Structure 1
Amino acid sequence: MVQRVDVRVRSDAPPERVYALAADSSTWPEWSPVVRYERERAGDARGVGEVRVFHNKGRKALTREEVVELTPNRRVGYVLLSGLAIRDYRAFIDFEPDGGGTAIRWHSTFKPKTPGTGWLYRLVLQAVISRYARALAARAASGN
């Protein structure tokens, strides 16, 4: 059964500043629980196709993801290649102008590898993505 996670936050920063941070995988250790970033494979000229490896705080398992969409100032999309006991994980971070800031929607879908565990992964991912989204919003607003 497909599980869904949907997180919405707001940043006082304009969409182009929020997008710039989310689209540049090398910035993630500056604002998220990612401790270290490695590029396994470069993407095209825009970055689509990049395979990134994240070392996350509190986790021994590495997270490998592939960037599948970069729509300037509007959307970042990626898929999970390995690192969690889930399948078909696909996530998008959408940016919409909101007054002088940005409405951020970070949403994903996945299937559990083990039947009956989807609800648990959904709860964990909801908390984790909420933390990432709030950190992204705050860092963009700080102007750093």
Structure 2
Amino acid sequence: MGVQRIDVSATTTAPAAAVYALLRDGASWPGWSPLGSFELESPGEDGGESVGAVRVFRTGRTTSRERIVELVPDRRLSYVLVSGLAIKDYRADVDLTEGPDGTTIRWRSSFRPKVPGMGGLYRRTLTTFIQRCADGLARATSEAHPRPNAR
């Protein structure tokens, strides 16, 4: 079964540090994403939501468990799916690129479907979901950090 890839982006007026702060804080995700709730199942190597932490997100009847695998302050958060969806080898990289007008959020992920022939359906569904996450993160951080009025 082939690898499926997702690549979405959104832009915010906020600096990368502000975007990264919300991204790192799993408890904030239900406020800006379609996710319903958050729980820290186990802390990471350095405590809290550091590398190795397992975060649990619930939306309706779906519960996903994700492990943080890479953190680059103000630049990247990467995680892998531990359980919860009918996909395998899922990895997401959320990269932040700061420019003069704000920060671009690029959310890329890849996975393989567990069920043959279902990759396209899962990709389309997850693309919509992840775009809503990126857009929500951009909106939440832009509201907290509006762009100064041009003179």
Shorter chain as denominator, the TM-score bin is over 0.9
- CA-atom RMSD in angstroms: 1.2
Corresponding residue for 1:4? 5
Q: Is the 8 A contact 2:44 2:50 kept in 1?
A: yes
Corresponding residue to 1:51 among 49, 54, 79: 54
Structure 2 CA distance for aligned equivalents of residues 4 and 11 of structure 1: 24
Q: Is the 8 A contact 2:62 2:84 kept in 1?
A: yes
Corresponding residue for 1:71? 72
Letter in 2 for 1:73: D
Letter in 1 for 2:56: V
Ranges in structure 1 where 5+ consecutive residues have no aligned partner: none
Structure 1 CA distance for aligned equivalents of residues 101 and 15 of structure 2: 6
**What do the CA deviations read for 1:26-58 (whole angstroms, capped 9, x no partner)?**
2111211122111110012261111011111xx
Corresponding residue for 1:98? 99
Structure 1 CA distance for aligned equivalents of residues 129 and 51 of structure 2: 24
**Partner-residue secondary structure (3-state), 2:62:** coil
Ranges in structure 2 where 5+ consecutive residues have no aligned partner: 146-151
Runs of 4 or more consecutive aligned structure 1 residues displaced over 2 Å after TM superposition: none
Letter in 2 for 1:67: I
Q: Is the 8 A contact 2:34 2:129 kept in 1?
A: no
Structure showing greater Rg: 2
Task: Using structure 2 for the length normalisation, give the TM-score.
Answer: 0.90
Deviation at 1:123, TM superposition (A): 0.5
**Partner-residue secondary structure (3-state), 1:19:** helix
Structure 2 CA distance for aligned equivalents of residues 85 and 115 of structure 1: 11
Matched, 1:82 2:62: no
**Partner-residue secondary structure (3-state), 2:55:** strand
Structure 1 CA distance for aligned equivalents of residues 109 and 122 of structure 2: 12
Corresponding residue for 1:124? 125
More displaced stretch, 31-40 vs 107-116: 31-40
Structure 2 CA distance for aligned equivalents of residues 34 and 124 of structure 1: 14
Task: Using structure 1 for the length normalisation, give the TM-score.
Answer: 0.94
